[in-house]
Amino acid sequence: MPSQLQPQRKKGRGQAKGRPIDSTALAEIQELLGNTPRRRDLLIEHLHRIQDCHGHIPAPLLTALAGEMGLTVAEVYEVASFYHHFDLTKEGEPVPPPLTVRVCDSISCALAGAEPLIRQLQDALGEGIRVQRVPCVGRCQEAPVAVVGKNPVPRADLTKISAAVENRQVSPTLPECLDYEQYCATGGYLLLTQIDSGSLVIGEQEVDAADYALDVLDEAGLRGLGGAGFPAGRKWRILRDQPEPRLMAVNIDEGEPGTFKDRHFLERDPHRFLEGMLIAANVVGIHEIYVYIRDEYAGIREMLARELDALRSDPPCPLPEIHLRRGAGAYICGEESAMIESIEGKRGMPRLRPPYVAEVGLFGRPTLEHNMETLYWVRDLLEQGAAWFKDQGRHGRSGFRAFSVSGRISRPGVHIAPAGITLRELIDEYCGGMAAGHELHAYLPGGASGGILPASLADVPLDFDTLQPHGCFIGSAAIIVLSQHDSIREVALNAMRFFAHESCGQCTPCRVGCAKAVTLMSQPVWDEELLKELAQVMADASICGLGQAAPNPLLSALRYFPDELET
C-alpha cells in the first residue's frame, strides 16, 4: 500500500500542460507502470523503466509520463535532464546506439590505462556501439573498468570488452552472497529479535535493549563511516527525541573516486547490514526505511531486492516498510540532503541547513540518515561489546576501518584494519607492498576530495581528525597510492574535472569555480595566486561539501609538489 507519509498526487490529467499527449505513448506508459502508484516520489523509478526499455527516453514518452503522473512536462524534464544515466531524445533526433560501453576515467582507472583503452575502443568497436567515458563506477581495485550495458568488465582490455560485446554479455552477475537462509543458520537476526522483545540478558543481568544499544555505540565511539564522522549513538538519541513518525534513509551511493567498501560488504554479507539497519530502526522507532543504492551497482540492487523479499516472506519480527530506491548517476546524491531530494523524485540538489535532516528530512519528517558501512558494524558491536571495538586501534586511535585501497600496490581491495594505522603500515601489512617497479611517492587518503599527501607523510595515523593539520581528510577511507611514475599535476586535474562534471550547479562558487579551476589547471604553468584565491572562495561560499572540498587536491599539489606542476 502507498505510504501515508508521502504526498499523494492527483490521478493523471491525461493532458500535460502545453503539450499534446500521443495516445500510443500514453498507452505504453500505462503498460510500463502497470499497477505501481503514480506518486511524485516514484518519478525517478518510472524514468528508469522507460530508459531500461528503450535505452533512452523519447520525448513523447516523457510527455505521456508527465500527464499520467499529474505533473507538468517541465517538472519531469528538469528531473530527467539532471541525472547522467537518463538519455533524453527529442522528436526527430537520432537515438543512442543500442549498446553503450562505459569506461571509467577517474583516478585509479586513469593510472591503469583508461585513456589508451578508450581510444582503442573508439577505433575498434563498430556501428551500433557507443563508447562513453564515465566517472568512478566503484570498482577501483579492478582498474581499468568498463561496463558493457550493465555488465562490469574488471581489468578491462580490448579483448575482454570485444568478447562481452560480441556475446552480448550486457546483464550484471548477481553476487554469490550469504543469503537469508544461510545467514539465519549462522545466528543471523537473533539479536534483532532480542532487541525487538525490549530486553537483553548481559551476563546475568537483564537490561533495556534500546538503552544498552545506545550505551554501547556511545562507549565504542562508532562514527558515521560515509565521510562526515558524526557519532552514531548521538545521532540515534537525537532522532528518538523527534516527533513521530520518523523515517530512515540509507546511503549506498558511494560515488567518491577510490571508494568501493560498501559494494565489498554487500556482495558478501548483505544481511549483516540489513540486521544493523533494522536494529537501528527498532531502537530509534522508525516508521519506514528507504535504501538508496547507486545505479552502477545493478547486480547488488537485484540481489538486495531478492533478499528483502525473502526477509519479508519470513520475518524474524515485525518489520517497518522497506523501500529500495535506485540512483541515476549523480555523485552529489551522496550528500545526505541531496539523496533525500532524489528519493522524493526531485533533482539531487543539497538543501540549505538548518533545518537538519534529523528534524526536517524525507517528506518533511525527522530522518535518520546513515551510510551502509556504519550499520554493517552494529551487530558485531552489540554482540562483542564496546571494549572489543575500542581495543582494535593503533597510535592512540580506536576501532576498525574498512580501507578501500587502489593504485600502485600489489593487493588492491578492501582491507579491514585498525583505525589509526599509517599508510606505510597498511601497504606493508595488508596490501602486499608496492607493485613491482613502483616506489611510494604520494597518496590520496580520502578519495578525490581528501587531498594529496607526499610519501614523507606516510607515517601519519589514518583516522578522523588526524589529517586536517596537513590540509587533508580521510572521508570514507578511499586511499589511492601513487608512485614515482605518476604525475601529481594530472591526478589533481583528474579530480577537478570530476568535480566540474558532478557539480549540481545550484551555487555559483561550485558551478563556476570547478570549471574555472579546470581551465587554470590545464595551463602549462599554474597561476598559484589565482588558484588559491579561487579555492578560498569555493571553500567559503559553496553550499555543500562538494564545492567546499573540491579545491583540496589542487591546494595539496601546490603545497607539497610545487616543482611537479609544469608541463
Rounded to a whole number of angstroms, the CA Rg of the chain reads 24
Tell me what percent of the residues of the chain surpass a pLDDT of 90: 93
**How far, in Å, CA of 397 to CA of 171, rounded?**
43
**How far, in Å, CA of 47 to CA of 66, rounded?**
10
pTM confidence score: 0.95
**263-302 confidence digits (pLDDT tens):** 999 999 999 999 999 999 999 999 999 999 999 999 999 9
**How far, in Å, CA of 561 to CA of 356, rounded?**
39
Q: Cell 565511539 maps to which residue?
A: 221
Work out the mean pLDDT of the chain and round it to a whole number: 95
Helices (H), 242-297: 261-268, 270-284
pLDDT of 4 above 70:
no
pLDDT at 397: 95
pLDDT of 42 above 70:
yes
pLDDT of 406 above 50:
yes
For Cα atoms 464, 465, 466, give the angle at the middle one, nearest 5 degrees. 95
What pLDDT band is residue 141 in, cutting at 50, 70 and 90?
A: very high
Catalogue the E-assigned strands of 168-272.
199-202, 205-208, 246-252
Length of the chain: 567
The three cell numbers of residue 180 are 537469508
Q: Angle, nearest 10°, between helix axes 73-80 and 59-69?
A: 120
pLDDT of 1 above 50:
no
Q: Beta strands 478-483 and 440-448: pairing type?
A: antiparallel
pLDDT at 2: 46
What pLDDT band is residue 12 in, cutting at 50, 70 and 90?
A: very low
Q: Position 238: which residue type?
A: I
**CA distance readout (Å), 43 to 33, 34, 244, 326:** 11, 14, 26, 11
pLDDT of 567 above 90:
no
Average pLDDT on 15-23 reads 75
Average pLDDT on 109-134 reads 95
**307-317 confidence digits (pLDDT tens):** 999 999 999 99
Average pLDDT on 119-138 reads 94
With beta carbons less than 8 A apart as the criterion, state whether 226 and 374 touch: yes
Residue 228: how many CB atoms within 10 A of its CB?
15
Residue 308: how many CB atoms within 10 A of its CB?
19
pLDDT at 19: 73
With beta carbons less than 8 A apart as the criterion, state whether 178 and 269 touch: yes
Helices (H), 436-507: 488-502
Written in H, E and C, the secondary structure of 481-501 is EEECCCCHHHHHHHHHHHHHH
Phi, psi of 473 (to 5 degrees): -150, 160
**How far, in Å, CA of 31 to CA of 264, rounded?**
36
**201-212 confidence digits (pLDDT tens):** 888 889 999 999
Q: Cell 582494535 maps to which residue?
A: 392
pLDDT of 14 above 60:
no
Average pLDDT on 471-483 reads 96
What pLDDT band is residue 126 in, cutting at 50, 70 and 90?
A: confident
Average pLDDT on 25-38 reads 98
**How far, in Å, CA of 236 to CA of 238, rounded?**
5
Q: 264: which residues sit within 8 A by CB, 6+ positions away?
A: 402, 404, 413, 414
What pLDDT band is residue 6 in, cutting at 50, 70 and 90?
A: low
Average pLDDT on 5-24 reads 66
Q: Position 263: which residue type?
A: R
pLDDT at 347: 98
**CA distance readout (Å), 463 to 323, 396, 445, 521:** 33, 10, 10, 30
**238-265 confidence digits (pLDDT tens):** 999 999 999 999 999 999 999 999 999 9
Q: Angle, nearest 10°, between helix axes 209-220 and 190-197?
A: 120
